[in-house]
Amino acid sequence: MNILIVYAHPEPTSLNASLRDFSVQRLQAAGHSVQVSDLYAMQWKATVDSGDNLAHEPGTPFHISPESKYAFENGLQSPDIAAEQAKLMWADAVLFQFPLWWFSMPAIMKGWFDRVYAYGFAYGVGEHSDRRWGDRYGEGKLAGKRAMLIVTTGGWEQHYGPRGINGPINDLLFPIQHGMLYYPGFDVLPPFVEYRVRAMDEARFAEVSGRLGERLDTLATATPIAFRKQNFGDYLIPSMELHPEVAPGQTGFAAHIA
């Protein structure tokens, strides 16, 4: 497979960097082609602005969605955005690796999504009418590709448990896994989460990388999270609420998983 790793950590000697290098080696050894978008090393621009549309006329208002659409359709996106989109189209699977900062991804990776996910590429794809609300949530330009989060936390696993004070990790990651990955079409594999990370001795690193390695070995075969597809009867259109007969009476994130 072709595998893209989108990676965000500022320190080249960090545990995250070691795990990234481990992943590259493991995947290459298995015969995969690997590219890494190391956002800090690339000095990725995190902020959406008018520079993202090469056709933007200086001094005029910046209208984000229409300008994103125009630039995407006409080959006038900032080259760094187009390059990341090309990597996504090349990839069969994409790993997003980051330390959990304030219960989400580092700003530099959020800015990767904000900028690379152009109108016409990740949203605004397909027919939008009162019969169909676009190709999203299970359809879209990234359909058929797989995605998986690789996340480290400083906090304890129990604190992210079903009744843990931080909230359950799968709920904390729902806006990312469902809202950012499933939305444009990815099949999303269960995340690899390593808790309570700090400087590790060799024994723990071997143990952690061993578990990560198993996940990398099964990238092509593991069962994705069973998020419900938008356009196949589970949702009413255009209200986009679950059909009354689907997960009856259930509310919240879990209702969107079959």
Interface with its own copies (CB under 8 A): 10-14, 40, 46-50, 61-65, 101-108, 110-111, 113-114, 117, 137, 154, 156, 158-159, 161-168, 171-172, 174-176, 178-180, 183, 230, 235, 238-242, 247, 250-256
Tell me the residue length of the chain. 258
CB of 13 to its own copies, least distance (A): 5
CB of 33 to its own copies, least distance (A): 28
Nearer to its own copies, 8 or 24 (CB): 8
CB of 41 within 8 A of CB of 10?
no
Q: Which of 60, 90, 58, 84 is nearest to 72 (CA)?
A: 84
Nearer to its own copies, 164 or 224 (CB): 164
Nearer to its own copies, 47 or 218 (CB): 47
- What element of type H or E holds 121? none
CB of 206 to its own copies, least distance (A): 22
Nearer to its own copies, 44 or 216 (CB): 44
Chain CA centroid to CA 230, Å? 18
Nearer to its own copies, 34 or 105 (CB): 105
CB of 93 to its own copies, least distance (A): 20
Nearer to its own copies, 32 or 110 (CB): 110
Q: Which amino acid is at 186?
A: F
Classify 75 as helix, strand or coil: coil
Task: Record the tokens describing residue 202, joined without a space.
Answer: 């060799």
Nearer to its own copies, 34 or 230 (CB): 230
Task: Record the tokens describing residue 119, joined without a space.
Answer: 């109108």
Q: Which of 109, 72, 95 is nearest to 3 (CA)?
A: 95
Name every residue whose Cβ is closer than 8 Å to that of residue 254 and which is 6 or more positions away in sequence: none
Q: Which of 149, 20, 168, 6 is nearest to 88 (CA)?
A: 6
- What element of type H or E holds 162? none
Name every residue whose Cβ is closer than 8 Å to that of residue 27 and which is 6 or more positions away in sequence: 3, 34, 216
Q: Which of 87, 72, 101 is nearest to 42 (CA)?
A: 87
What whole-number distance in Å separates Cα of residue 94 and Cα of residue 20?
A: 13
CB of 158 to its own copies, least distance (A): 4
